[in-house]
Amino acid sequence: MLACRPELQARHTAFKRGSAYLERYCLLIAFTAYLEAAQRTGADMTFEEWMAARPDVGQARDAILENPAGEAAQWFHIVSHWMARSLRPT
């Protein structure tokens, strides 16, 4: 069906590209939160382990591919929460 309508194919391609950019940007923010938490706590944990310990962050990242506009706000809220927790004085 998309092949019949070039404007729909172009929109779909742009949507997929934008979703991929947004996912990478969100992962960079999560990685920053991980680095700040690791530096502050001295925890010996890989980024993959850090993400696995935070299923809400992984779920929000996965949801971006389904609904980028709706999920981006939720994703940023979750990651900013984790960043704020990592920056609290102990």
Residue 11 forms part of a structural domain: no
User: What b/e readout covers 23-47, taking b as 16+ CB neighbours within 10 angstroms?
Assistant: beebbebbeebbeebbeeeeeeeee
Residue 72 forms part of a structural domain: yes
Residue 7 forms part of a structural domain: no
* Full residue range of the structural domain in which residue 50 is found: 21-87
Residue 59 forms part of a structural domain: yes
pLDDT at 46: 93
Q: In the structure, what pLDDT confidence band is assigned to residue 47 with cuts at 50, 70 and 90?
A: very high
Residue 1 forms part of a structural domain: no
Average pLDDT over residues 55-73: 72
Does the pTM of the predicted model rise above 0.85?
A: no
How many distinct structural domains can be found in the chain?
Answer: 1
HSE (CB half, 13 Å, CA atoms) of 70? Answer: 5
Query: Which three-class secondary structure state does DSSP give residue 5?
Result: coil
Q: What is the mean pLDDT of the chain?
A: 77
Residue 13 forms part of a structural domain: no
Residue 14 forms part of a structural domain: no
Share of the chain above pLDDT 70, in %: 68
Q: Which of 86, 79, 81 is nearest to 28 (CA)?
A: 79
| pLDDT exceeds 70 at position 89 | no
Residue 67 forms part of a structural domain: yes
